[in-house]
Amino acid sequence: MNIYNKNISPKSVDFLQKIIKSNNNLPEINQKIENVCGIADFFKNTKDADFFKDKSLNLSDRSEKSEYGDYQTNTNLSVQVCELLKSKKINPNIIFEPTFGKGNFIISSLKTFDNIEQIFGVEIYKPYIQITKFKILDYFIQNLNQKAPKIKLFHANIFDFDTKKHININKNDNFLILGNPPWVTNTELSGINSKNLPRKVNFKNHKGLDAMTGKGNFDIAEFITNSLFEKFADKTGNFAFLIKNSVIKNILQRQIVNNYKITNLEKFIIDAKKEFNVSVNASLFYCKLNSKSDKLCAEFDFYTKEKIKEFGWVNDKFVSNTDTYQKYANFDGICQYEWRQGMKHDLTKVMEIEKVADNLYQNKFNEKFELEEELVYGILKSSDLKGETINKTRKYTIITQKKIGQATSFIKNDYHKTYNYLQSKFDLFSKRKSSIYKGKPAFSIFGIGDYSFKPYKIAISGLYKQLNFTLIKPDKNNKPIMLDDTCYFIGFDDEKEAEIIFEVLKSEEVKEFLSSLIFNDAKRSVTKDLLMRIDISAVMKNKNIRKNKNDNYLKISRRITPITQTKLALFG
């Protein structure tokens, strides 16, 4: 079965056969079809017009689906999106679908809006263009009373498509950009050597922005959205795209530099698992074009339309919940303590060990071996950081260095058993992939320094969404407990001080403040940068937290003064 059998009704086949049989002239055939469904140049050439015989356009699964971020919108969803726009009194006369795929947005807009004069569409995959054309023809054959707008469907790459040349929008037009661009990142595409990438025009040229948002990785959808904002900056209209939440967040975050003329920004969260069968957080992103340059976005549930929150820029801070943030904005500063990431060894099977008996340990290969106790420390991972206080661990590790890069030759001289064990795994140590170990002493570890040996620590997981701080005390042998690199912590020499700061950090107020900054879509929601924003001095002055506190609290609170940039520089 070729694509047509599936996507075209017998009535339309009949219609086309009659026209083709009664005519040999392609422009005339196309004109007759255009009269019914509005599509210009329905058949590009006579071979196209032989569509009944064309068995090559078999759609039995597009092999490069992931390369094209190919997640077609189901009609139910595309209709709901159009209905939502209609409920906002949006009634476009020109529609542009920049990557129209199987055309469900085009069909849904024909069903929903009653003022469409022109539709423009671009799609890179030819079979989808054929499908869409036939679906549109079918639609008008079933709805003969509906006047067809002028429809131009381009087989083109959106990255090269000359919108100025093909889409002419006048002052009085009510323009709508509608669709669902590819769901794929440049990194994923580079990984498969794909050519489906924009030439990196301007996109990453915003110096400092990478530093702010992190990464050379960007979504193709984000690139397409930005270039449309640029191309249609002076056109009155509306914009509605289904995109990943991370893309919406980036658009908002970069608005501070991009200053696109977009306003009334709204995000309607959809259930991507239900709609696309993918585990991605995605939404309908809506905004008005050619207006002020807004930097806030209201968030709703797509299905109930209930408002959830608002996120975006509050002065010079990018936050995930503006209302909550404003309540605690004075906590947003520079932390007086330096948050550290835990230690890293990249060799779990060898370095994550359990205690079987005194001096006797077992690794993940189930091998048992003896170690001197001196270099063995209890270690906690993110999953261990439950509850309030911890002073014992399930797992142990070998701390081979006191600071990064320190020589490890002392182990051979002073700790024979430990050396024998490490040496027996020498190959595995040298095969560690990360470049941080290259040229470093044997058995090197990372994320280690004086701070690792502080007896008291306040730690939090970098992996979990719950904001749970844990107070960590020395173990029964009075040894400091270590944390792995999935955790962040502050170290203290003084138990009282650790206890007081712990009380402060675990307060509801701090949790709310942090949650107003966190975007739950991020892989690591808790980061060092986030924790370094807690101005502990300001938190300690908060009247709810301060009430009923004892003398120690007041003493420490007075000692911790707001931090200055110079002092911050000392953190290095």
Contacts with ligand SAM by CB under 6 A lie at 68-73, 99-102, 104-105, 122-125, 128, 157-159, 179-183, 196
One-letter amino acid at 493 equals D
Q: Which residue is nearest to ligand SAM (CB)?
A: 101
CB 100 to ligand SAM: min, Å = 5
The residue behind tokens 């050439």 is 45
By C-beta, is 71 or 229 nearer to ligand SAM?
A: 71
CB 554 to ligand SAM: min, Å = 58
**E strands along 161-281, which residues?**
175-179, 237-244, 262-270
Q: How far apart are CA 448 and CA 426, in angstroms?
A: 20
By C-beta, is 73 or 363 nearer to ligand SAM?
A: 73
By C-beta, is 156 or 329 nearer to ligand SAM?
A: 156
CB 447 to ligand SAM: min, Å = 40
Are β-strands 150-155 and 175-179 bridged in parallel, bridged antiparallel, or unpaired? unpaired
By C-beta, is 138 or 352 nearer to ligand SAM?
A: 138
**Paired residues of 287 in beta bridges:** 239
CB 229 to ligand SAM: min, Å = 17
Burial of 496 (0-12, 13-18, 19+ CB in 10 A): middle
**C-beta of residue 349 within 8 angstroms of C-beta of residue 495:** no
By C-beta, is 121 or 455 nearer to ligand SAM?
A: 121
By C-beta, is 243 or 526 nearer to ligand SAM?
A: 243
C-alpha distances out from residue 234 to 117, 253, 259, Å: 20, 22, 13
Residues near 98 by beta carbon (within 8 Å), at least 6 away in sequence: 121, 122, 158, 161, 177, 179, 181, 224, 228
Could you write out the DSSP letters of every residue in 512-554?
HHHHTT--TTSS--S-HHHHTTB-HHHHHH-HHHHTT--HHHH
Count of Cβ atoms closer than 10 Å to residue 438 Cβ: 10
CB 71 to ligand SAM: min, Å = 4
By C-beta, is 124 or 526 nearer to ligand SAM?
A: 124
CB 183 to ligand SAM: min, Å = 5
Q: How far apart are CA 457 and CA 460, in angstroms?
A: 10
By C-beta, is 104 or 253 nearer to ligand SAM?
A: 104
Q: Residues 115, 86, 254, CA angle at the centre, nearest 5°?
A: 110
By C-beta, is 128 or 361 nearer to ligand SAM?
A: 128
CB 130 to ligand SAM: min, Å = 13
CB 232 to ligand SAM: min, Å = 17
CB 300 to ligand SAM: min, Å = 20
User: 395: closest CA among 453, 358, 362, 353?
Assistant: 353
Q: How far apart are CA 183 and CA 101, in angstroms?
A: 13
By C-beta, is 221 or 351 nearer to ligand SAM?
A: 221
Q: What are phi and psi of 326, to 5 degrees?
A: -60, -30
Give the sign of the dihedral formed by CA 258, CA 259, CA 260, CA 262: positive
CB 162 to ligand SAM: min, Å = 13
Residues near 228 by beta carbon (within 8 Å), at least 6 away in sequence: 98, 163, 177, 239
Give 3-state DSSP helix, strand, coil % of the chain, rounded to 5. Answer: 35, 20, 45
Q: How far apart are CA 482 and CA 162, in angstroms?
A: 58
* 3-state helix/strand/coil string of 427-459: HHHHCCCCHHHCCCCCCCCECCCHHHHCCEEEE
Could you write out the DSSP letters of every residue in 100-157?
-TT-HHHHHHHHH-S---EEEEEES-HHHHHHHHHHHHHHHHH-TTSPP-EEEEEES-
By C-beta, is 101 or 312 nearer to ligand SAM?
A: 101
CB 154 to ligand SAM: min, Å = 9
By C-beta, is 82 or 498 nearer to ligand SAM?
A: 82
CB 155 to ligand SAM: min, Å = 9
Q: Residues 339, 340, 344, CA angle at the centre, nearest 5°?
A: 160
CB 149 to ligand SAM: min, Å = 18
By C-beta, is 183 or 492 nearer to ligand SAM?
A: 183
The residue behind tokens 């449309």 is 228
By C-beta, is 153 or 538 nearer to ligand SAM?
A: 153
CB 187 to ligand SAM: min, Å = 16
3 state SS of 423? helix
